[in-house]
Amino acid sequence: ATPISIMVASGRGAQAGVLFRDAAAIEALHRVDTLVLDKTGTLTEGRPALRGVMPLGELPKERVLALAAALEQASEHPLARAIVTGAREAGVAVPAASGFRAQAGGGVRAQVEGRALALGNARWLESLGVALDGAAASRAEHLRAGGATVMFLAVDGLPAGVLAVADRIKADTPAALATLRREGLRIAMLTGDNATTAQAVARELGIDEVHADVSPTDKAAVVERLKREGRRVAMAGDGINDAPALAAADVGIAMGGGTDVAMESAQVTLVRGELSAIARARALSQATVRNIR
């Protein structure tokens, strides 16, 4: 690789909103045949909004929302912002929390007013010993089928409510996927979110390969498996939860505006967080590699 062509590619990339870490990143992107995409914050805006709150126990709806917001105040997750904003808009008073702990791909825990609270997905809450009954499960499944992400609130180990949050697909996502498909890339979704929610979003985008319900460490394992199957994998993501998968991919692509950890784990950063920049980055890498050879 001539330093000149690499420099030219880097400069043009920066203009197109693409930062390459090094020359190897430019070359590797050119060889990729599969693009794995995180859902929340990558295919979607990552600014989900609260859509509904339903009590599952004695506590009224406003109380469920207030406790959920108390838990999420300390979290940086997009779902957390949706809940805190939703509580503010509903005008409920949010109590203070202590002993906050977050489980990536699971949820959050803390003490609020002397009670042990947990908020997160069904799988994680069940791993904490919270029993969710059939009525709770069917209510959640109905919300997911509409594309919402569902979280359960538990108070002292008992289910207290369901919160539904939904996110919009980024404006440039459908066109960017069409371009990338036309170039022969295989597109897959990789998400920590529930399979029903993931399928609803994937269907809207015409994505037929979906890996859902995947924990942050398992995201990397999925990428490793695709590589073992002989695929050359680029992975794009925005979150702390994506960092191991970005590092495992042949090319890790971080969405600018996402978390620093994602950008540190990736070889390519899309400055404006637009998927359409991936097509521009590939075109650049192809032109550069052609010049080199």
Work out how close the CB of 131 gets to Mg ion at its nearest, in angstroms, rounded to a whole number.
29
Q: Is residue 86 at the binding interface for ligand ADP, with CB under 6 A as the rule?
A: no
- The pairing of strands 18-20 and 268-270 is antiparallel
Work out how close the CB of 9 gets to Mg ion at its nearest, in angstroms, rounded to a whole number.
28
Work out how close the CB of 75 gets to ligand ADP at its nearest, in angstroms, rounded to a whole number.
4
Burial degree of 218 (CB within 10 A; 0-12, 13-18, 19+)? middle
Q: Is residue 196 at the binding interface for ligand ADP, with CB under 6 A as the rule?
A: no
Q: Is residue 38 at the binding interface for Mg ion, with CB under 5 A as the rule?
A: yes
Out of 30, 51, 77, 211, the only residue in the binding site for ligand ADP (CB under 6 A) is 77
Binder of residue 189, out of Mg ion, ligand ADP, none (CB less than 5 to 8 A by kind): none
Q: Is residue 193 at the binding interface for Mg ion, with CB under 5 A as the rule?
A: no
| Residue among 133, 129, 152, 137 nearest 79 (CA) | 152
Q: Which of 33, 38, 156, 167 is catalytic?
A: 38
| Residue among 126, 124, 123, 131 nearest 103 (CA) | 124
Q: Which is nearer to ligand ADP, 86 or 192 (CB)?
A: 192
Q: Is residue 265 at the binding interface for Mg ion, with CB under 5 A as the rule?
A: no
C-beta separation of 13 from 292 below 8 A: no
* Active-site residue, 38 included: yes
Contacts of residue 95, Cβ cutoff 8 Å, sequence gap at least 6: 66, 67, 70, 112, 113
Task: Kindly state the number of chain residues that form the binding site for ligand ADP, as judged by CB under 6 A.
Answer: 24
Q: Is residue 250 at the binding interface for Mg ion, with CB under 5 A as the rule?
A: no
- Please identify, among the stretches 58-66, 74-82, 246-254, 278-286, the one whose residues bind ligand ADP according to the rule CB under 6 A: 74-82
